C-alpha cells in the first residue's frame, strides 16, 4: 500500500498533497473561466436593463452570451458542464421573467437554487454524508472511501459542507429581502456583486480543511492493483498447469 492509500496523522501536509487538492478544487469548480461564465450573463442582463429598462432585450442578450460561451467550449473541445449549467440557469430565469412580466423574476430561479443548495449542504452535513464529499470524492479518485476508511477526510468534508451551507444561507438572507423591497437594478447589481466573493470564500475554506486532512485513498489504484494481482495469479497457475502436463513435469511431480 502506498503513502497515498494510507491516511496520515501529520498536521503539516506535503506540498504534493496541497497541489493535488488545489488542482482538484480548480477542476471541480471551474476555475477562473467558470467564474466568468457564471457572472457574465447576469452582468449583461442588469447592465442592459439599467440603461433601457427593456426586459426582452436584456433577457435575450443574457441567454445569447450563455450560448456563445457553450459554443466556445465546444469549439475548443473543453468540458462544457459549467457553461451548460449557466445556460440552463439563464434559460429558467428568462422564461420565468417573460411569463410574469417582472424583470426581477429573472433572478428568482437562481436565488431559489442557492437557497436549496445551502439547505442541501447543511442537511447532508448533519446526516453524516456531506454533499461536498459526494461531489469531490470522484475528483480525488476516492469515491466514497472517506465515509468508512478515512475519518479525517470525512471530518474535513463535513466542515466544508457546513461552510458552504452557511455562506450560501447568508447570501440568501441578503438577496431575498432585496427581491421584495428593492427594484430590479438594485437587486441585479447586488446579486452580481455577491457572485464571486462568497464563492471564493467557500472554496478557500474547503481548501484549508482538505489541505489539513489525510490524503485520499485512491480506490481506482487499489482496483487496478487487485486486477494485476489476479492476472499474475492466473498466469502463474496456467504456467504451473502447463508444466504439469509435460512428461518432465509429471516426472518431477512423481519424484
Q: What is the DSSP letter of 102?
A: -
Q: Measured between alpha carbons, how far is residue 131 from residues 81, 111, 156 in Å?
A: 18, 19, 12
C-alpha 50/C-alpha 47 separation (Å) is 5
Which candidate, 205, 133, 212, places its Cα nearest to that of 163?
205
Indicate whether this model's pTM tops 0.95. no
- For each of the chain's 255 residues, which pLDDT tens digit applies? 343 444 444 444 456 666 667 777 776 676 777 778 888 888 899 999 999 888 889 999 999 988 888 888 778 777 666 666 777 888 889 998 989 989 999 999 999 999 999 999 999 999 999 999 999 988 888 889 999 999 999 999 999 999 999 999 999 999 999 999 999 999 999 999 998 899 989 999 999 999 888 988 888 777 878 888 788 787 777 777 766 555 555 555 555
Number of H helices, E strands in the chain: 12, 0
Amino acid at each position: 500500500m502506498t503513502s497515498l492509500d494510507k491516511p496520515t496523522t501529520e498536521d503539516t501536509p506535503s506540498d504534493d498533497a496541497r497541489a493535488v487538492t488545489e488542482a482538484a478544487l480548480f477542476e471541480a469548480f471551474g476555475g477562473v473561466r467558470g467564474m466568468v461564465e457564471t457572472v457574465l450573463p447576469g452582468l449583461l442582463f442588469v447592465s442592459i436593463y439599467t440603461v433601457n429598462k427593456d426586459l426582452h432585450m436584456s433577457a435575450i442578450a443574457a441567454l445569447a452570451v450563455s450560448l456563445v460561451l457553450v459554443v466556445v467550449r465546444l469549439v475548443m473541445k473543453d468540458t462544457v458542464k459549467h457553461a451548460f449549467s449557466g445556460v440552463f440557469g439563464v434559460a429558467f430565469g428568462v422564461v420565468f421573467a417573460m411569463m410574469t412580466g417582472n424583470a426581477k423574476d429573472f433572478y428568482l430561479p437562481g436565488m431559489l437554487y442557492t437557497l436549496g443548495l445551502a439547505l442541501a449542504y447543511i442537511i447532508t452535513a448533519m446526516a453524516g454524508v456531506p454533499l461536498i464529499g459526494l461531489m469531490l470524492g470522484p475528483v480525488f479518485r476516492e469515491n466514497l472511501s472517506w465515509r468508512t476508511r478515512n475519518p479525517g477526510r470525512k471530518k474535513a468534508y463535513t466542515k466544508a459542507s457546513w461552510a458552504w451551507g452557511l455562506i450560501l444561507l447568508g447570501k440568501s438572507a441578503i438577496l431575498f429581502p432585496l427581491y421584495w423591497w428593492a427594484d430590479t437594478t438594485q437587486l441585479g447589481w447586488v446579486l452580481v456583486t455577491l457572485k464571486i466573493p462568497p464563492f471564493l470564500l467557500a472554496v478557500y475554506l474547503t481548501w484549508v480543511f482538505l489541505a489539513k486532512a489525510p490524503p485520499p485513498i485512491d480506490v481506482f489504484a487499489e482496483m487496478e492493483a487487485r486486477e494485476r494481482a489476479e492476472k499474475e495469479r492466473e498466469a502463474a497457475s496456467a504456467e504451473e498447469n502447463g508444466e504439469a502436463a509435460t512428461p518432465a513435469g509429471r516426472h518431477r511431480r512423481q519424484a
